[in-house]
Amino acid sequence: MLQPPRILCKLITTLLICAQPALLSADNIDRNYPSDPPAEAAQPNNWPSELKVTGNRLTDTDGNEVWLQGVAIPGLEIIPAGHGVVNSAIIAIEEWNANVVRIAIKDSYWYGQGKGQTDGGLAYRATIDAAVNAVANRGAYIVLDNHRFRAVKPEHLPFWQELATLYKNHPAVLFDIINEPHEISWEVWRNGGFVADNTDEYNQAGFLDETTMQANRGFESPGMQALVDAVRITGAKNIIIAGGLDWAYDLSGILNGYALEDAEGNGIMYSTHIYNWKTDWQKSFLDAAEHYPIFIGEVGADVKKMDFLPHEIQENPYTWVPDMLGIIQKHRLNWTGWSFHTWATPVMLSNWQYEPTPFWGDFAKRALAGEQFECERLR
């Protein structure tokens, strides 16, 4: 496909920056969530190939590299009914060319402990299973993300053992074992230990509700390695995804003695979450990418500023997004854009007709369709 000259690309980008739309407000966010279609039966003949880690890449059973590119879909970690997650997964694959979707889930909802759940989690588990079948039947991959924070907790081990037993060696399913570790040492991250009370202003002023923040203080963590081992005891070889520190951004410790061991499985892929206020890309994830497969489980930028961070450090998405996509493409980093949603910022969707936002969703959709971007400046 013919590409416009670089000078024209720069002109268009400049015009877009000057013509940014008004910020989304609570009054104009589309909350008319889609309904999920009827659950599909499993169609194993259509499922993708099993993946394994080979060096710093993912490969299929024939040894061919598989580059995962797609979207992250919230909803099932917010309320047990979700926000039409299965429908969104199908749209992402069929209309946005995604070959992977990352579905945020919550272990307490799995057991029916959420508000309004009266069936012990039966309907919730059925929705997740419907998402797995819908994605796998279309030849794509699904990442199940336990959308928890701070550090691995003891109750995460039996949860993942149950989930791993259910989806043991399913070729389409990858396990993202904890969403965003933060405010702990690399020693506690890997090997476990006491997770102290946290009074950090960044955490306190952030997006976590008070109940979640209270629950993330003062407990003994078994650590990431114990959680990996718990999954492998079930016989599940599915690729495990492990997010780094600093809200799953920093992977530097992986190169300094804290890499996980996985003798029994198909390997570990390390996850980084990158937003438009994060800096030091080289040390934080690019160095690790030379040695291990990297999964950018969340990435994006929004014209709406996050109030828990200084506004001046949040870069304009029209300059940041093309550079970020350029780095992803240059290094063939696996990625899922956050978020395939209308209000879980940074938003890729303008509405539930799945029209992309101009500042993030449009760029991502074009990248998923094969358009190439160049990074002009590392952060």
Q: Which pLDDT tens digits describe the chain residue by residue (379 residues)?
A: 333 333 334 433 433 333 333 334 344 688 899 999 999 999 999 999 999 999 999 999 999 999 999 999 999 999 999 999 999 999 999 999 999 999 999 999 999 999 999 999 999 999 999 999 999 999 999 999 999 999 999 999 999 999 999 999 999 999 999 999 999 999 999 999 999 976 554 444 455 566 666 666 689 999 999 999 999 999 999 999 999 999 999 999 999 999 999 999 999 999 999 999 999 999 999 999 999 999 999 999 999 999 989 999 999 999 999 999 999 999 999 999 999 999 999 999 999 999 999 999 999 999 999 999 999 999 9
pLDDT digits (tens, 9 = 90+) for 176-224: 999 999 999 999 999 999 999 765 544 444 555 666 666 666 899 999 9
In a domain, 139, yes or no: yes
88-111 burial: b if 16+ Cβ within 10 Å, else e: bbbbbbeebbbbbbbbbbbbbbbb
DSSP-assigned beta bridge partners for residue 299 = 274
Pairing type for strands 294-300 and 57-59 reads unpaired
In this structure, the dihedral spanned by the alpha carbons of residues 56, 60, 63 and 65, taken in order and rounded to 10 degrees, is -50
In a domain, 24, yes or no: no
What φ, ψ does residue 146 adopt, rounded to 5°?
-75, 105
Radius of gyration (Cα) for the chain, nearest Å?
20
Distance between CA 160 and CA 18 in Å, rounded? 47
The reported pTM is 0.90
In a domain, 378, yes or no: no
In a domain, 44, yes or no: no
217-253 burial: b if 16+ Cβ within 10 Å, else e: eeeebbbbbbbbbbbbebebbbbbbbbbbbbbbbbbb
Distance between CA 185 and CA 368 in Å, rounded? 36
Split into its structural domains, the chain has a count of 1
In a domain, 223, yes or no: yes
In a domain, 34, yes or no: no
* Domain enclosing residue 258, as ranges: 51-368
In a domain, 41, yes or no: no
pLDDT digits (tens, 9 = 90+) for 134-177: 999 999 999 999 999 999 999 999 999 999 999 999 999 999 99
Residues 109/118, Cβ–Cβ less than 8 Å: no
93: Cβ contacts below 8 Å, ≥ 6 apart: 70, 99, 101, 135, 138, 140
Distance between CA 172 and CA 257 in Å, rounded? 30
Distance between CA 75 and CA 133 in Å, rounded? 18
In a domain, 20, yes or no: no
Residue 347: which CATH number? Answer: 3.20.20.80
What residue type is assigned to position 101 of the chain?
V
Q: What is the pLDDT of residue 210?
A: 63
Residues 294/285, Cβ–Cβ less than 8 Å: yes
